[in-house]
Amino acid sequence: MADGFIEELRSTLEEGSVLAGADIDARYHHDLAGSPVPKPRAVVRPKTTEDVSALLRLCHRAKVPVTTQGGMTGLVRGALPNASEIVLSMERMNAIEEVDVATGVAVAQAGAPLQKIQERVEQDGFMFPLDLGSRGSCTIGGNISTNAGGNRVIRYGMTRDMILGLEVVTADGTVLKGLRKYIKNNTGIDLKHLFIGSEGILGVVTRAALRIFPAPAEQQVALCALPSFSEVASFLKLARAKLGGELTAFEVMWNEYYRLTVERVKGVTGPLPTHHPFYVLLEASGGDAERIRADLEALLEMAMGEGQILDATISTSNASAAAIWRIRDSSVELGRSFPYAARIGFDVSLAIDRMEDYADQIASRIKKIDPEAFAIVFGHAGDGNLHIGVHHEHTPERREEFEKLVYGITGEFGGSISAEHGIGISKRPYLKMSRTAEEIETMRTLKRALDPHNILNPGRIIEV
Ligand code: ZN
């Protein structure tokens, strides 16, 4: 059956930009969470901001909903289209247009994969510090739309802290040319922050000016075993005091995470035995190689003397550092080693001094729903962010029961239901547990003002 709107898109946009029917590949309706959905109405792959603008102008006029896609590594179903939606894939807008080392800025199109940006600025002796396990597939546009966090937040902050300027197309096709390169810019409302972390419901990010930093000459990674969570907290305090700005990652793994990853994920080897209660991956970086080594060794010696750590190993090469990081980066592979329908991922923030009690509460209370259920806990302890995988018997209906329980416990502990993965569709019912009714209504006011026909990622985060 002919689709007049698709024909109009074809005649307006550059040839080859519009895919429909059998030409729509599975990757446009499938994401990292692993549950495919039916094909979208069409897929549009623009090469220019002008084409994004033309597409949205047409969709706005015809009130046709659009889902914007990056690398499809999201975990909250935010980029999965429904059958009536047009997918706006940013995959052909993937250029890194400029690396300006004098100013410390790189300019990239939204579809550029994160790892490509990291590697490109490395060629000039710089680093783009945003880093997460899906670096090879995720795109900078997706990172911006979800305000991605990842492994180095403790030192460099979230994505929001690394963005100097954005070019954005709003729902009616208006192009906001905010691609500015300066840190200081107090000229009224800083519009870029409306689009960072708002999951594409207010506009489509097309290009970004990113902060880059001189690459550290030395990066040392240590893996430590600890006897209790209170020692994890004490060790973090000591590491912050002794390493200061040299501390670039502090990642915690409960025993189950470390042990099961070493046992189940192919290609992972554990340099320490698997029986210790807690493990910490610590990264120290800086410009002076000898000093970094000396500071890290002194820290570990002191922590060992105080009984905070029981055992530790320091990387001796880039390869051994990568092998340690591989353990922490294998959370997706570990999750996939269990049946999909019987696993639920949570991503929460809470105060570090409440983390152990929180994890213990979850571990014991999930057993009341299903005696076989167990939790795998790990995360960015330095940022107050835990990831929890709840594994249970293969009964998808149980999902809601577990979600209500875990988010309820998160509320009891005064935590946030989403530290870094966002709300999307999956967490929308629970948004009210972390945000007030007045805050959510203000989000709706912004959405109605910028997207009056509700065409951009409708139903994500909020319903209007
Ligand atoms: Zn994370």
Between the CA of 151 and the centroid of ligand 1 the distance, in Å, is 7
pLDDT for the residue 339? 75
Comparing C-alpha atoms, which of 30, 9, 31 is closest to residue 20? 9
435 phi/psi in degrees, rounded to 5:
-130, 150
* Integer Cα distance of 81 and 247 in angstroms: 40
Q: Ligand 1 centroid to 287 CA: how many Å? A: 26
Whole-angstrom distance, CA of residue 363 vs CA of residue 406 = 10
Q: Are strands 96-100 and 66-69 parallel, antiparallel or unpaired?
A: unpaired
CA distance 177 to 206: 10
End-to-end CA distance of the chain, in Å? 32
Which residues of the chain, if any, have pLDDT below 50? none
H helix runs in 63-188, sequence order: 114-122, 140-145, 153-156
At 274 the pLDDT is: 98
Q: What is the pLDDT of residues 351-408, one digit of tens each?
A: 999 999 999 999 999 999 999 999 999 999 989 999 999 998 767 778 889 999 999 9
Token digits for 124? 């000039």
Å from CA of 386 to ligand 1 middle: 8
| Whole-angstrom distance, CA of residue 435 vs CA of residue 179 | 30
CA–CA distances in Å: residue 442 to residues 79, 155, 384: 23, 31, 27
pTM score: 0.93
- Domain residue extents for the chain: 96-214, 218-331, 338-422
The pLDDT value recorded for residue 220 is: 94
- What confidence score (pLDDT) does residue 340 get? 67
**Hunting for tokens 């951009």 — which residue is that?**
456
User: How much distance in Å is there from the Cα of 150 to the middle of ligand 1?
Assistant: 5
Q: Which residue in 72, 148, 229 sits closest to 419, CA to CA?
A: 148
pLDDT value, residue 312:
97
Question: DSSP letters along 300-341, please?
Answer: HHHHHHTTS-SEEEE--SHHHHHHHHHHHHTHHHHHHTS-GG
Q: Which residue in this structure is represented by tokens 């912004």?
A: 446
At the top level of CATH, which class does the domain 96-214 belong to?
alpha beta
Q: How many CA atoms lie within 13 A of 458 on its CB side?
A: 19
d(CA 330, ligand 1 centre) in Å: 11
DSSP 330-359: THHHHHHTS-GGGEEEEEEE--GGGHHHHH
Between the CA of 332 and the centroid of ligand 1 the distance, in Å, is 11
Whether residue 305 contacts residue 234, with contact meaning beta carbons closer than 8 Å, is answered with: no
CA 83 to ligand 1 center in whole angstroms = 30
387 C-alpha to ligand 1 centroid (Å): 7
Contact residues for 352 (Cβ-Cβ < 8 A; gap 6+): 233, 236, 381, 384
Neighbours of 295 (CB within 10 A): 20
Domains 218-331 and 338-422 belong to one CATH topology: yes
pLDDT for 343: 84
- Would you say how long the chain is, in residues? 464
Measured in Å, residue 130 CA sits from the centre of ligand 1 at 12
Between the CA of 377 and the centroid of ligand 1 the distance, in Å, is 11
> In angstroms, what is the span from residue 167 Cα to ligand 1's centroid?
27
Using an 8 Å Cβ cutoff, are 258 and 279 in contact?
Answer: yes
C-alpha of residue 379 to centroid of ligand 1, in Å: 6
- Dist. CA 75 → ligand 1 center (Å): 11
* pLDDT number for residue 341: 66
Residue 105 structure tokens: 């800025």
Ligand 1 centre distance from Cα of residue 158 (Å) = 11
Distance 174 CA to ligand 1 centre (A): 34
Tell me the CA–centroid distance for residue 172 and ligand 1, in Å: 34
- 345 Cα: distance to centroid of ligand 1 (angstroms): 11
- Long-range residue pairs from 369-378, CB within 8 A, at least 24 positions apart, any chain: 369/398, 369/401, 369/402, 369/405, 370/395, 370/398, 373/402, 374/256, 375/256, 376/254, 376/256, 376/257, 376/260, 376/334, 377/254, 377/256, 377/257, 378/251, 378/252, 378/253, 378/254, 378/257, 378/328, 378/331
- pLDDT tens digits, one per residue of 158-203: 999 999 999 999 999 999 999 999 989 999 999 999 999 999 999 9
What fold is seen in the domain 218-331? Alpha-Beta Plaits (3.30.70)
Q: Taken in order 207, 211, 215, 221, is the CA torsion positive or negative? A: negative
**148 C-alpha to center of ligand 1: Å?**
8
Residue 380 CA, ligand 1 centroid: distance in Å: 7
CATH code that applies to domain 338-422: 3.30.70.2740
Minimal CA–CA distance to 351: which of 381, 393, 377?
Answer: 381
CA of 372 to the centre of ligand 1 (A): 26
In angstroms, what is the span from residue 331 Cα to ligand 1's centroid?
9
**What is the rounded distance in angstroms from the CA atom of residue 202 to the CA atom of residue 455?**
10
Distance 354 CA to ligand 1 centre (A): 18
